Amino acid sequence: MVMANSEGAYVSDSDGKRYIDGIGGLWCNNIGYANEEMAEAIADQARQIHYYSVFGHLTTPPAAELAAKVAKLTPGHLDHVFFGTGGSMSNDTAIRIIHFYFNRLGKKNKKKIISRIDGYHGSTYLAMSMTGVAFDHQGFDLAPDLVHHIPAPNPYRRPEGMSVDEFCTEKVADLENKILELGPENVACFIAEPIMGAGGVIVPPPGYHRRTREVCDR
In tens, the pLDDT along 127-175 reads 999 999 988 888 887 888 999 999 999 999 999 999 999 999 999 999 9
Q: Are residues 35 and 137 in the same domain?
A: no
What's the whole-number average pLDDT of the chain?
Answer: 95
The amino acid present at 123, given as its one-letter code, is S
Give the number of C-alpha atoms closer than 13 A to the C-alpha of residue 63, restricted to the C-beta side.
Answer: 16
Query: Is 96 inside any structural domain?
Result: no
Q: Are residues 114 and 46 in the same domain?
A: no
Determine the structural domain holding residue 195 and report its residue range: 107-218
Give residue-wise pLDDT tens across range 86-125: 999 999 999 999 999 999 999 999 999 999 999 999 999 9
CATH of the domain at 187: 3.40.640.10
Q: Are residues 40 and 128 in the same domain?
A: no
Is the pLDDT assigned to residue 40 strictly greater than 90?
Answer: yes
C-alpha 79/C-alpha 58 separation (Å) is 17
Query: Is 59 inside any structural domain?
Result: no
Q: Are residues 114 and 189 in the same domain?
A: yes
Query: Is 81 inside any structural domain?
Result: no
Q: Are residues 37 and 144 in the same domain?
A: no
Report pLDDT for 143: 82
Query: Is 209 inside any structural domain?
Result: yes
How many structural domains compose the chain?
2
At a CB cut-off of 8 Å and minimum separation 6, what does 92 contact? 122, 124, 126, 127
pTM: 0.89
Report pLDDT for 55: 85
Q: What's the whole-number mean pLDDT along residues 193-206?
A: 94
Query: Is 186 inside any structural domain?
Result: yes
Q: Are residues 30 and 116 in the same domain?
A: no
Query: Is 37 inside any structural domain?
Result: yes
